[in-house]
Amino acid sequence: QGRRSRPNIIMIMADDLGYGELGSYGQTKIRTPHLDKMAEEGIRFTQHYAGSPVCAPSRCVLLTGLHTGHAYIRNNDEMGFRGDVWNDLSLEGQRPLLAGTTTIGTVMQKAGYRTAAMGKWGLGGPASEGAPGQQGFDDFFGYLCQRIAHNFYPPWLWRNDQKVVLKNEFFKAHQQFPADADPNDPSAYAKYSGHEYSHDLIVNEALGFIQQHRNEPFFLYLPFTIPHVALQVPEDSLAEYEGAFPETPYLSRPGMGSSYLPHRTPHAAYAAMISRMDRDIGRILTLVSDLGLDEDTAVFFTSDNGPSWVGGTDPDFFESRGPLRGRKAQVYEGGIRVPLIARWPGRIAAGSTSDLPCAFWDFLPTFADIAGAETPSGLDGLSLLPTLLGRSAEQRRHEYLYWEFSNQQVVRLGDWKGIRPANSDALELYDLATDIGETTDVAASEPATVARIEEIMRTGRTDSDLFPLRRG
């Protein structure tokens, strides 16, 4: 039928985008027409989970196919850096992945794919064993360090192992609005921007990669930085929402949440960032179509965890978590349940939905399956290809899903969700079939279920010297 035996795969991941922040997942204030169209033309998953409620471990899980009970990185880890790291940009990168790690990149390389990662890496700084070039990626462009990614106008980005100096003056990504400045004066915020917006550069690099490698199978991993704070967006996007919402300037002062860069119209900025990302995803899909690669390219979109609550974000105003409880850095559904949309014309039926419980550790086996590659042994994930192709009767299902984060453990067993809070032996239990908002703890009336989940919490993981799990 003219289809390639090794289809291209594009994996797009937003940063801190909530379950309810796309139109196709119920959002009414933020416009996301291209992602909504992608859902109409493909499949939308309603019970998909991130690898963790925060950045670095979620990325580790996605790339390695191991949940956080087995993954090497189980929390954000700054390697013990101290001092003013915001002024000393030589201190780049988080704890690196180990040399020899099996990743989606290494699996796809072995299958004959050209591989690229463009966006926010967060799994090893320059010259470390965790750098993208050491972890299966032929091409990289973007931020190696999550801290530097707090500024969308950085002094530099990285292309492979080369620093790309940008036309942006350095300024700290965390600072308060001056006490003697007028918070309603747009010019007072001018110093929190620059000339080159990192997201735009990353998108252009991705478009160039697709063009350059259109005649060979490629895997393109796009971990975008939007909508992670700081709130920064070019004026043309901000203008689309100017005056649309009630606004109180975010001044990054004590009592206003963790200090990121101030913004005069934080609601408009947040919405504009997401809409700009959506616009650029539309550009990527248009290019794929224009190159005649639609039926040879599977495109996925998700988010690394739930929505933020600091830096001028307002998850209540935007109903960012939808009907869920919690947010980023929490293990309730709002922190880990995220959108997943997949589009593959001719293979994925348009307008499909799936309520299959699945998670980031399923991506590696799924992509290996799509590529016809050998799936590594010892993974926690299962291939979702049968569900993508509409053959749900062939779909293997997880007995349970498991997370651990910051001394907390979580198990989803069928519709049951068990949470062991930090430093506690008491289990919370929720029935997601009837209580998606996790409002009613039913542990006392379900002792058999509690006992089974506690057993999984003991046996479904291995100890980590770096991220020890302390109980009681």
Check residue 239 and give its pLDDT. 98
HSE of 364, CA atoms in CB hemisphere, 13 A: 28
For the chain of 472 residues, list the mean pLDDT of each consecutive stretch of 10. Answer: 82 98 98 98 98 98 98 87 50 92 98 98 94 98 95 97 96 92 96 97 98 98 98 98 97 79 98 99 98 98 98 97 98 98 98 98 98 97 98 98 97 98 93 98 98 97 95 64
- Identify whether the C-beta of residue 194 lies closer than 8 Å to the C-beta of residue 153: yes
Q: Kindly report whether the global pTM for this prediction surpasses the value 0.75.
A: yes
Q: Is the dihedral of CA 225, 229, 232, 233 positive or negative?
A: positive
- Identify whether the C-beta of residue 264 lies closer than 8 Å to the C-beta of residue 189: yes
Q: Please state, in angstroms and rounded to a whole number, the distance separating the CA atoms of residues 124 and 113.
A: 23
Q: Alpha-carbon Rg of the chain, whole angstroms?
A: 21
Check residue 78 and give its pLDDT. 82
Residue with tokens 């859902």: 39
Check residue 79 and give its pLDDT. 67
- Residue 132 per-residue DSSP state: G
End-to-end CA distance of the chain: 60
Q: Please state, in angstroms and rounded to a whole number, the distance separating the CA atoms of residues 298 and 348.
A: 9
Q: Which residues pair with 290 in a beta bridge?
A: none
Check residue 80 and give its pLDDT. 46
